[in-house]
Amino acid sequence: MESVLPGEPVRTEERLVAEIYRMTAGRRLANTFIRAMLTVGVPIKDTYVLTVRGRRTGRPRSTPVRLVQEGGQRWLVAPYGPVNWVRNARAAGQVTLSSGRRSETVAIEELGPAESAPVLRRYLAEVPIVRPFFDVTPDSPLEAFAAEAPRHPVFRIVGPAGENRSRGASL
């Protein structure tokens, strides 16, 4: 195995080995800071506070998320895998996205690997800080992203919660 800088993916025999996400005190502090900035209305590109009811407690849980947006379509990406917000969103089928005074509750649907692949590729290109958690690079073929998709759920935002769900355009 090669020696690399902390936070960089490790390349072993032409294969990347993704880091495993751990919620550390530093990450918790960073999330709290970003959430506070968004709550008071400081704009951060394509970043929102996602709030979803806990699947067991029913209490609202919030975390900052970065959306992929193109042509009026929006997607939520779970770069760290099926973490708590993902499990809660799957159970609820809807989330609330907030930035400053704006808030919207939206219905979501989880995508399959083929539909997720181009969204994941774009996300990885736009958000380089998450690259260590993927076994692909932004230049990898779509097939590699499809193989990666089960480890990084992608949700299509299908409209306001309570409306009929319709299939949107692909990326």
What is the residue extent of each domain of the chain?
17-160
- Does residue 18 carry a pLDDT above 60? no
Helix (H, G, I), strand (E, B) or coil at 154: strand
- Does residue 65 carry a pLDDT above 60? yes
Instruction: Give, for 2, the enclosing helix (H) or strand (E).
Output: none
Percent of the chain with pLDDT over 90: 49
In sequence order, the 6+-apart residues with CB closer than 8 A to the CB of 133 are: 18, 19, 20, 21, 79, 80, 81, 152
- Does residue 76 carry a pLDDT above 60? yes
Contact between residue 152 and residue 116 where contact means Cβ atoms under 8 Å apart: yes
Other Cβ atoms less than 10 A from the Cβ of 30: the count is 12
Question: Distances in Å between the alpha carbon of 82 and those of 11, 90, 110, 155?
Answer: 24, 10, 12, 12
Q: Which residue has the higher pLDDT, 9 or 49?
A: 49
Instruction: Output the pTM of the full model.
Output: 0.75
Which of the four pLDDT bands, split at 50, 70 and 90, describes residue 1?
A: very low
Q: What is the pLDDT of residue 166?
A: 45
Q: What is the 3-state secondary structure (H, E, C) of 69-125?
A: EECCEEEEECCCCCCHHHHHHHHHCEEEEEECCEEEEEEEEECCHHHHHHHHHHHHH
Task: Indicate the residue type of 17.
Answer: V
Q: What is the pLDDT of residue 167?
A: 46
Architecture of domain 17-160: Roll (2.30)
Q: What tens digit of pLDDT does each residue of 97-154 get?
A: 998 888 999 999 999 999 999 999 999 999 888 888 889 999 999 999 999 999 999 9
Percent of the chain with pLDDT over 70: 73
Q: What is the pLDDT of residue 130?
A: 84
The answer to which of 7-11, 61-65, 86-90, 138-142 has the lowest mean pLDDT is 7-11
